[in-house]
Amino acid sequence: MLRRVLLTLAIVLPLVAAAPTIAGAGPFIGSWSATDIDGSAMTMTIGNGPDGSHRVGLVDQMGTICVSNEAASVLFRGSAIGTVDGDVLTATWRSARCGDTAFDFGDGQFAMEYLPETDQLFGMDVYWDRHGD
Protein backbone atom coordinates (compact mmCIF):
# COMPACT_ATOMS: atom_id res chain seq x y z
CA MET A 1 0.00 0.00 0.00
CA LEU A 2 2.73 2.47 0.99
CA ARG A 3 4.64 1.55 -2.16
CA ARG A 4 1.58 2.39 -4.30
CA VAL A 5 1.15 5.78 -2.57
CA LEU A 6 4.82 6.65 -3.04
CA LEU A 7 4.70 5.64 -6.70
CA THR A 8 1.59 7.80 -7.23
CA LEU A 9 3.29 10.76 -5.54
CA ALA A 10 6.41 10.28 -7.66
CA ILE A 11 4.28 10.55 -10.79
CA VAL A 12 1.86 13.30 -9.71
CA LEU A 13 4.13 15.76 -7.84
CA PRO A 14 6.28 16.72 -10.86
CA LEU A 15 3.10 17.40 -12.85
CA VAL A 16 1.68 19.62 -10.10
CA ALA A 17 4.96 21.51 -9.75
CA ALA A 18 5.07 22.17 -13.49
CA ALA A 19 1.50 23.51 -13.66
CA PRO A 20 1.08 27.29 -14.07
CA THR A 21 0.14 29.14 -10.90
CA ILE A 22 -2.95 30.74 -12.46
CA ALA A 23 -4.35 28.59 -15.22
CA GLY A 24 -5.13 30.53 -18.38
CA ALA A 25 -4.18 33.91 -16.90
CA GLY A 26 -0.79 34.15 -18.54
CA PRO A 27 2.57 34.87 -16.97
CA PHE A 28 2.09 38.63 -16.54
CA ILE A 29 -0.85 38.47 -14.12
CA GLY A 30 0.15 39.20 -10.53
CA SER A 31 2.02 41.59 -8.27
CA TRP A 32 5.57 42.66 -9.04
CA SER A 33 8.24 44.75 -7.34
CA ALA A 34 11.49 46.37 -8.45
CA THR A 35 14.06 48.91 -7.41
CA ASP A 36 14.10 51.86 -9.81
CA ILE A 37 17.41 53.04 -11.27
CA ASP A 38 17.18 56.02 -8.87
CA GLY A 39 16.99 53.57 -5.92
CA SER A 40 13.29 53.99 -5.11
CA ALA A 41 10.90 51.09 -4.56
CA MET A 42 8.32 50.36 -7.26
CA THR A 43 5.34 48.03 -7.27
CA MET A 44 3.18 46.96 -10.17
CA THR A 45 -0.02 44.96 -10.34
CA ILE A 46 -1.16 43.38 -13.59
CA GLY A 47 -4.64 41.94 -14.00
CA ASN A 48 -7.03 40.89 -16.73
CA GLY A 49 -8.81 43.69 -18.53
CA PRO A 50 -11.59 43.84 -21.11
CA ASP A 51 -11.36 41.93 -24.40
CA GLY A 52 -8.19 40.04 -23.43
CA SER A 53 -6.28 43.18 -22.49
CA HIS A 54 -4.27 43.62 -19.29
CA ARG A 55 -4.74 46.37 -16.68
CA VAL A 56 -1.54 47.70 -15.16
CA GLY A 57 -1.20 49.74 -11.98
CA LEU A 58 2.19 51.21 -11.07
CA VAL A 59 3.43 52.94 -7.92
CA ASP A 60 6.90 54.49 -7.63
CA GLN A 61 7.82 55.74 -4.16
CA MET A 62 9.92 58.55 -5.68
CA GLY A 63 8.92 59.25 -9.24
CA THR A 64 11.59 61.08 -11.21
CA ILE A 65 8.85 62.93 -13.11
CA CYS A 66 7.45 64.13 -9.76
CA VAL A 67 10.80 65.49 -8.61
CA SER A 68 11.77 67.07 -11.93
CA ASN A 69 8.38 68.82 -12.21
CA GLU A 70 8.40 69.97 -8.57
CA ALA A 71 5.08 68.24 -7.86
CA ALA A 72 3.62 68.52 -4.37
CA SER A 73 4.22 64.77 -3.87
CA VAL A 74 7.06 62.51 -5.02
CA LEU A 75 4.76 59.44 -4.95
CA PHE A 76 3.97 58.47 -8.56
CA ARG A 77 0.82 56.49 -9.36
CA GLY A 78 -0.05 55.44 -12.87
CA SER A 79 -2.41 53.14 -14.70
CA ALA A 80 -2.16 51.65 -18.16
CA ILE A 81 -3.85 49.10 -20.37
CA GLY A 82 -1.94 46.73 -22.60
CA THR A 83 -1.84 43.73 -24.84
CA VAL A 84 0.45 40.73 -24.96
CA ASP A 85 2.35 39.50 -28.00
CA GLY A 86 4.45 36.45 -27.13
CA ASP A 87 6.53 37.31 -24.08
CA VAL A 88 6.02 41.09 -24.35
CA LEU A 89 3.29 43.20 -22.74
CA THR A 90 2.99 46.62 -24.39
CA ALA A 91 0.91 49.07 -22.38
CA THR A 92 -0.43 52.57 -23.04
CA TRP A 93 -0.66 55.04 -20.15
CA ARG A 94 -4.21 55.99 -19.14
CA SER A 95 -3.42 58.08 -16.07
CA ALA A 96 -0.35 59.31 -14.25
CA ARG A 97 -0.09 61.56 -11.22
CA CYS A 98 2.08 62.70 -8.35
CA GLY A 99 -0.35 63.60 -5.59
CA ASP A 100 -2.63 66.28 -7.06
CA THR A 101 -0.38 66.86 -10.09
CA ALA A 102 -1.62 64.97 -13.15
CA PHE A 103 0.51 64.23 -16.21
CA ASP A 104 -0.70 63.56 -19.74
CA PHE A 105 1.54 61.06 -21.51
CA GLY A 106 -0.79 61.09 -24.52
CA ASP A 107 -0.40 57.72 -26.18
CA GLY A 108 2.90 57.06 -24.40
CA GLN A 109 3.73 53.40 -24.07
CA PHE A 110 6.06 51.10 -22.20
CA ALA A 111 6.89 47.42 -22.62
CA MET A 112 7.48 44.59 -20.17
CA GLU A 113 9.21 41.42 -21.32
CA TYR A 114 8.47 38.20 -19.45
CA LEU A 115 11.56 36.09 -18.73
CA PRO A 116 10.25 32.54 -18.20
CA GLU A 117 13.58 31.09 -17.06
CA THR A 118 13.60 33.36 -13.97
CA ASP A 119 9.87 34.25 -13.70
CA GLN A 120 10.75 37.94 -13.89
CA LEU A 121 9.75 40.91 -16.01
CA PHE A 122 12.20 43.32 -17.61
CA GLY A 123 11.00 46.82 -18.38
CA MET A 124 11.65 50.46 -17.50
CA ASP A 125 15.36 49.52 -17.38
CA VAL A 126 14.93 47.22 -14.33
CA TYR A 127 14.08 43.62 -13.45
CA TRP A 128 10.74 43.01 -11.69
CA ASP A 129 10.23 40.13 -9.24
CA ARG A 130 6.90 38.46 -8.62
CA HIS A 131 5.69 38.67 -5.04
CA GLY A 132 2.87 37.63 -2.72
CA ASP A 133 0.36 36.19 -5.20
Domain boundaries, the chain: 24-130
Per DSSP, 3 falls in state: H
Residue 133 confidence (pLDDT) = 53
Q: Residues, the chain, total?
A: 133
CATH of domain 24-130: 2.40.128
H or E element in which residue 5 lies: helix 2-18
pLDDT digits (tens, 9 = 90+) for 34-89: 999 999 999 999 999 988 999 999 999 999 999 999 999 999 999 999 999 999 99
Q: What is the mean pLDDT of residues 115-127?
A: 97
Residue 30 confidence (pLDDT) = 97
Q: Output the pTM of the full model.
A: 0.79
Q: What is the mean pLDDT of residues 103-111?
A: 93
Please give the full DSSP string across 32-80, using - where no structure is assigned. EEEE-TTS-EEEEEEEE-GGG-EEEEEEETT-HHHHHTT-S---EEEEE
Residue 106 confidence (pLDDT) = 87
Residue of higher predicted confidence among 36 and 13? 36
Q: In this structure, are residues 90 and 101 in contact, taking their beta carbons and an 8 Å threshold?
A: no
